[in-house]
Amino acid sequence: MMQQIRIFSPATVSNICCGFDVLGFAIDNFGDELIISKSNKEGVFIKKINGYLVPNDRKKNTASVAGQALLDYLKISQGFEIEINKNIKPGSGIGSSAASAVAAVYGINKLLDNPLKKEELLKFAMQGEFVSSKTAPADNVASALYGGIILVNNRENYKVVKLPAPKNLFAIVHHPLIEIKTSESRVVLPKSIKLGIASDQLGAVGGFIHSLHTQDFDLMRTSLKDYLVEKYRADYVPFFNEIKSLAKINNTICCSISGSGPSIFTLVNTNEEAQRLKLLFDRVYKSKNLEFNSYITSLNSKGVHVL
């Protein structure tokens, strides 16, 4: 049986315009890496953290909390040490806390010779996510775990549906290097909404899901609108309105805020268009002297996996 394992868990985009807390997708080739080793000391401990600063307290780190939740459920006394290569900045809006939590439960489950199926790991990763964000939507966690595009169909028992991802669908993700905490960004959201807004949002979600099955990009373009949260968060995301205006002029499929922000994602249906618009949007951030990272990803990533 293996004594050590190295895991990659991707960054993720959540909400996808119309699916607040229920839709998400994984980003190719960018995420956290965890090295998980068996140890003689009972429990899950953080051995080392490289990269961005996150808590090393085992009761506050998303990876150790998630891993411990899994061990408690399995009633296993085996100990584990985790080294985290924290590549995703906390408060980025692209699933920083979710990535480490998913990597921990996936890796520990592998080292224990897979006592649980992948879908059974979700609820334990969610416990790690909660300790960081103080909320429990499963969109980022499910996206990192499953890869591709996901729908959280039932928030009570975390029923997740993996949706078809057209091969010619690409995302451009821009992440300005500032922090917006999920717990704080939810304060600006309304506690209730009008019935008409709910109806519009439901229609948008239904249209988007159908467009994935039919690869109807015109329907996707008209469906991917956010009637619920974008307008409340837009002012907190640097240069969002400027980027969104450029995206609209260039007839992109969609441009919106990932999660709580400050990251922004834009969908297009050719890699060439993604490359062109990435350079265009890069120039906006550079002209404002704001540090940022930017990525291009397909929406067919495989999610968390062994390296």
pLDDT at 188: 76
Q: Which amino acid is at 222?
A: T
Indicate the DSSP class of residue 234. G
What's the rounded Cα separation, in Å, for the pair 100 and 72?
Answer: 18
- CA dist 117 to 9, 202, 259, Å? 17, 31, 27
Q: Residue 190: what are its φ and ψ, rounded to 5°? A: -70, 150
85: how many CB neighbours lie within 10 A of its CB?
18
Burial class (CB in 10 A: 0-12, 13-18, 19+), 110: middle
pLDDT at 191: 86
pLDDT at 242: 96
> 191: which 2 tokens?
């506690």
Please name every residue paired with 174 in a beta bridge, in sequence order, or none if there are none: 264, 294
Q: Which amino acid is at 139?
A: D
What's the rounded Cα separation, in Å, for the pair 102 and 95?
Answer: 10
Collapsing DSSP to helix, strand or coil, 59 comes out as coil
pLDDT at 134: 73
> pLDDT tens, position by position, for the chain (307 residues)?
789 999 999 999 999 999 999 999 999 889 999 999 999 999 999 999 999 999 999 999 999 999 999 999 999 999 999 999 999 999 899 999 999 999 999 999 999 999 999 999 999 999 998 888 777 679 999 999 999 999 998 767 778 999 999 999 999 999 999 877 666 667 778 888 999 999 999 999 999 999 999 999 999 999 999 999 999 999 889 999 999 999 999 999 999 999 988 999 999 999 999 999 999 999 999 999 999 999 999 987 889 999 9
Residues in the chain: 307
What's the rounded Cα separation, in Å, for the pair 226 and 205?
Answer: 10
What's the rounded Cα separation, in Å, for the pair 203 and 181?
Answer: 29
pLDDT at 184: 65
5: how many CB neighbours lie within 10 A of its CB?
20
Nearest to 240 by CA among 220, 265, 259, 223: 265
Place of tokens 């890869």: 147
pLDDT at 183: 62
> 300: which 2 tokens?
């067919």
Collapsing DSSP to helix, strand or coil, 58 comes out as coil
Q: Which amino acid is at 50?
A: N
Structural domains in the chain? Answer: 4-163 (3.30.230.10), 170-298 (3.30.70.890)
Task: List alpha helices for 75-173, DSSP H.
Answer: 96-111, 122-133, 139-146
The pTM assigned to this predicted structure is: 0.94
- Number of C-alpha atoms within 13 angstroms, CB side, residue 306? 9
pLDDT at 133: 73
Instruction: Write out the E strands in 112-247.
Output: 149-154, 159-163, 170-176
Instruction: Write out the E strands in 40-109.
Output: 43-51, 79-86
